[in-house]
Structures are given as C-alpha cells and as structure tokens.
A and B are shown apart, each in its own frame.
Chain A
Amino acid sequence: MPPTSPSRRHLLASMIAASGGLALSPLLAAAPPAPLLTRPIPSSGEQLPVIGLGSWITFNVGRDPQGRRESVDVMRQFFAGGGRLVDSSPMYGSAQDVIGEAVQALKPARLFSADKVWVSGGARGMAQVEASRKLWRVPRFDLLQVHNLLSWEEHLPILLAIKREGRLRYVGITTSEGRRHAEIEKIMASQPIDFVQISYNALDRDVEQRILPLARERKIGVIVNRPFRQGDLTQALAGKPLPGWAADIGCTTWAQALLKFIVSHPAVTCAIPATSSVAHVRENLLAGTGRMPDEALRKRIAQDVERLA
C-alpha cells in the first residue's frame, strides 16, 4: 500500500462521517468492532490473525524522526487492533531498525516476528540473521524465510537445523511478483517448510493453479505479499464505485474488498499489506473481520476488479 493515498483516506473518512457524523480521530482510535479472524498455521495449529503487517518501502525511513514516529504509530495501531505478524528483511534498508524501535517502545505481548535471510552463500547467513535479530530487539525470530530463494540450497538446511534445536519456530521461503514458481513448487514438495510467501491479489492469480493447492496438500502456511500491487491496484480503483456485493461482506473501501478476496482463499494464512498510515492500518484490520466472500463471490470480485482496474 502506498504511504499516501488520499482517495482511500477520503473514502474512510466519508464512511465514518456517514455512519453517524462522528469526529474522525476518536473513532480511529477505537478498537475494531469485530474480532480479527485467525487461521491455524497448518504445521502447528497455532492461530494467526489473517491480517499481518509488511514493511517493504514503508518503514525504510532512515533516521527521519517524523518517519520513525509514524512507523511506531502504525505498529501501535496494528497491535492494538489484534495484529501479530510483522514481516521484514535485511533487504528493506532501515525497516528492521525501525521495527526494533517500535518493538522496544511498545513491547507487544503477542508479536509474531517474521524476517528473512538474504545473502549469497550459507556461511554468511547466520551472521546476517543475528544482525537482523539485534535490529529487531527480539530474543529470537518466530519465522525465518529464505528471501526470493537466494542461495536456498545452503540456507534452508541451516534454518531447519536451528528449528530442530528449538531456536526457531518456523521456516519458510519467499518469492514475489510471480518469480520462480516452478522452483517454489519443487521446494514445497520436497522440503519440510512451514510457510511459503508469495504475491497474490485479485489480478495476479497464477498461484491459484498449483501453489495454493500444493500448500493445502503439504500443510504449508501461505503469507501473501503485495496484495495491492504496491498501491497500483488501489490507485487504479480509486474513484470507482464499489459494486453491490461489497456491502454484503462489510466492505466500505476497495482496499478492504481486495484484502477479503485474498484472505478468504482457504489456503491463505495471512496477507501482509505494508503502510505508513495509521488510518490504512485500521482499514486493513477491518478487512480481517466479519463476513468473508464465498467461492462464487470471490470469482465475481476478481472479474469486477479485472474489469475496473
């Protein structure tokens, strides 16, 4: 999600104003009206909220004090709304340190820390993980993923060994924008991984053919990145009226409809939209509550998005 999207903010403000003329800020500070839905991690049964928080671009604010304050506010609202999984990577610039600052300030009781190893060669992998852990200010990570399959043949055995020793809870692999799906499938079929992270949204649905069914078959959790195509999708839909089905599933914005489309897929464990806006965090969390679309409505959402975007 882009850091600034006036149309979405406007829609949210309009929705709130229309629902009783209340001031924006007090309502935004309130908790979501319904509990955030959860899904079990297939390999363990542990429940995880269907909406997580990504950090690509949005939390890479360098030393900018204002950017860091805003990022802490985003994470505060995320945890207050029931969110748990925060995802980052050494590739994301200052994002890990920004997350660490928020973790130190907020001390979230139920953080699910998901990070990645992104370095060529297995020998340097653990040094990078330790550096990342220090930046996050956490005693250990819950989930470590091999970022974009970089040197996965070397990293994966090490991560699985650490998991066996009890120093890591889950292991996964990631890709994005449809890259190397054949190799992803091969690893899913042959390696005892807990999670796979892929790009999936109402327009990019290749994973429905093989990867999502394979994830169900192999009991692998699915984390979905780029749910809004890095903001392009919500921008393309901005100003287009929501179809009638949106009200049936409690959606007042396109962003919510797009997220509900993703997390209602039975193989998906959670989506990780990234944002630097507190209003968008709340909007995203609302998408993880209430009624979800059934298979017929999911097809219709995809058709409508394809037609309008």
Chain B
Amino acid sequence: MSEWWTYSLSDFLMFSSRSYYRLIESYNAAIWPAHLLALVAGVIVLGAIARPRQHLQRSAALVLAAAWGWVAWAYHLERYAEINTAAPYFAAAFAVQALLLCWLAYRPGNAAPAPQPLAFGLSGLAILAYPLLALARDGGTWRQAEVFGIVPDPTVVATMGVLLAWRAPAIFWLIPVSWCLVSCATLMELKIGHAWLLPALALTAVLAAIMVSKKPRDLNSTADPRS
C-alpha cells in the first residue's frame, strides 16, 4: 500500500468549483422549501443556548442530531457522492455524530449551562449569516446559499456553538473539528477565498471550550426542575 503515500491533496480533488456549487444549487432547488424548516430548527438551537433549560437543551440536541442525519443522507450520500468518492465515508461520520448528539440529549447528569455569548455568536453566525457567504463569493448567487441543517459547513459550526455552551466532552468535538479540516482543504484546493473561515471558527470554539472546561461549574445552573 506504499502507493497511497505518493498521493497529494490535490490528487483527491476530483471536481471543479463550478461543479461543486452547481451541485449545491441543484440540491437547494430540489429540497426547497425545507430551508424554512431548517431555519425554525436553527431558532430552536439558538433558543437553547440563550435560555438554558433542560427541555430546550434536549430539543436542540435532537434537532442537531436530525440535521446531521439529514446532511449525511441527503447531501453526502445522495448528492456529494456523485462527484466525490469519499462522500460515503463523510456520510458515515455524520451519521455517527447524529447518534452522539442523541446520546447528548438523553445522557444522565446533563447540566443546563449558563448562557455563553461566544457560543451563541458561533451558532448565530452559522444559522443566520453563513448563507450570505454565497453572495460574497465571486460568481456566487443566493441559489447556492449554504444553509444550516441542509449542508455540512453551517451545520458543523452551529453544533460547535452548542457543544461549547454545554461543555460537551472531547468525543463530541472530534467529528465536527475533523470536518472543518476536510472542508478547509477542499475549499483551499478549489481556491475559494473563505477556505480559512471554518478552521478559524473551529479553533476559536476549541480554545474557548478548553478555557471554559477549566472553570468550575456553577452548581446553581443545574437543571431547572420546572423544565
């Protein structure tokens, strides 16, 4: 298997930026108006960060699990696999993360966290601002907008915000951070200007998570019995 070491990153980029964004455009057109549902789901996630209640936390974790599951099937397996032979592996990773998020929703001893401005900002950026990147890209149109719950990148960023807010253990971060690196490498090879954005957001989230983990938990913020 020594042959595999001779490949470079560019060898695995099998498609042009035109094919990539056209795929997102046709995917968006095929599933519209699911984007409106995704926006509602995004608002639930933001609400769970802004108002830490255990029932909201559980709902948000299940919303995120559904989003990861949907992206695994509808995006990676059904669409992206047409132009990227690695997409089925991405789908498997996203499915695993969906299961982890289900576990996060129901695992015993969950603590409702205090509001986290940075976590809210990260998820808010992913849910509300990320679609606008399509307009900032040279030649991009709103039809190619990348929407939370529909395509991977904003889904991953929104999830990192939630993981940060809930002080999720490292295992929950593994796949989102790995995807940020994969997506960055892809966008860099496609020469997309905002390729740096995803790893920068991941680094911010991970550093913040490390800092937060060193602070003692506020016992007063444990699950609200009224929830």
Q: Is B215 an interface residue (CB 8 A)?
A: no
Name the distance in Å between B155's Cβ and chain A's nearest Cβ: 21
B139-183 interface code vs A (CB 8 A; 1 in, 0 out): 000000000000000000000000000000000000000000000
Question: Do the beta carbons of A62 and B14 come within 8 Å of each other?
Answer: no
User: Judging by beta carbons under 8 Å apart, are B14 and A180 in contact?
Assistant: no
Size class of A's contact patch? 20 to 34
A92 touches B26 (CB 8 A): no
Q: A179 contacts which of B6, B16, B18, B84 (Cβ < 8 Å)?
A: B6
Given contacts A60-B83, A64-B23, A2 and B16 within 8 Å (CB-CB): yes
| Contact residues, B1-44 vs A (CB, 8 A) | 1, 3, 6-8, 10-11, 13-16, 18-19, 22-23, 26
At the interface, yes or no: A29 with Cβ under 8 Å from chain B? no
- Which A residues are CB-close (under 8 A) to B15? 57, 60-62, 93
**Residues of B in contact with A, size category:** 20 to 34
Chain A residues with CB under 8 Å of B85's CB are 91, 93
B82 at the interface (CB under 8 A from A): yes
Interface segment, one of A35-43, A108-116, A127-135, A146-154: A146-154
Name the one of A56, A64, A179 contacting B19, with C-beta atoms under 8 angstroms.
Answer: A64
Chain B minimum-CB-distance residue to A63: B82
A62 touches B8 (CB 8 A): no
Q: Is B55 in contact with chain A by the CB < 8 A criterion?
A: no
* C-alpha gap A100/B3 in the complex (Å): 29
A177: chain B residues at CB < 8 Å are 8, 11
Contact: A120 with B1, CB < 8 Å? Answer: yes
- A74–chain B nearest beta-carbon distance, Å: 13
Closest to B20 in A: A62
Q: Which residues of B contact A180 (CB under 8 A)?
A: 6
Q: Which residues of B contact A148 (CB under 8 A)?
A: 3, 6-7
Interface: A252 (CB within 8 A): no
Cβ–Cβ contact B14 & A57, under 8 A: yes
Shortest Cβ distance from A249 into chain B, in angstroms?
A: 30
**Contact status B6-A3, CB under 8 Å:** no
How many angstroms from the CA of A120 to the CA of B84 in the assembled complex? 19
Q: Is the CB of B16 within 8 A of A64?
A: no
The smallest C-beta distance from B16 to any residue of chain A, in angstroms, reads 5
Interface residues of A in 40-94 (CB under 8 A from B): 56-58, 60-64, 66-67, 91-94
Contact mask for chain A residues 157-193; partner B; CB cutoff 8 A; 1 contact, 0 none: 0000000000000000000110110000000000000
Distance from A94 Cβ to chain B, minimum over Cβ atoms (Å): 6
- For A64, the chain B residues whose CB sits under 8 A away are 19, 22-23, 26
- Contacts A67-B22, A180-B6; is A93 near B83 (CB within 8 Å)? yes
A230 within 8 A of B: yes
How far apart are A287's CB and chain B's nearest CB, in angstroms?
Answer: 22
A60 to B15, CA, bound (A): 6
Task: Specify the chain B residue showing the minimal Cβ separation from A118.
Answer: B3
Q: Mark A1-37, 1 if CB is under 8 A from B, else 0.
A: 0111000000000000000000000000000000000
Q: Establish whether residues A230 and B22, one from each chain, have CB atoms under 8 Å apart when the complex forms.
A: no
- Considering the complex, give the chain B residue whose CB is closest to the CB of A179: B6
**Interface-centre pick from A64, A92, A230, A276 (highest chain B CB count, 10 A):** A64
- Listed A/B pairs (24) with beta-carbon separation below 8 Å: A3-B16, A3-B18, A57-B13, A60-B16, A60-B19, A61-B15, A61-B22, A62-B15, A62-B23, A63-B82, A64-B26, A66-B22, A67-B19, A67-B22, A93-B82, A94-B83, A148-B3, A148-B6, A148-B7, A151-B3, A176-B11, A177-B11, A179-B6, A276-B16
- A residues near B, CB below 8 A? 2-4, 56-58, 60-64, 66-67, 91-94, 120, 148-151, 176-177, 179-180, 230, 276
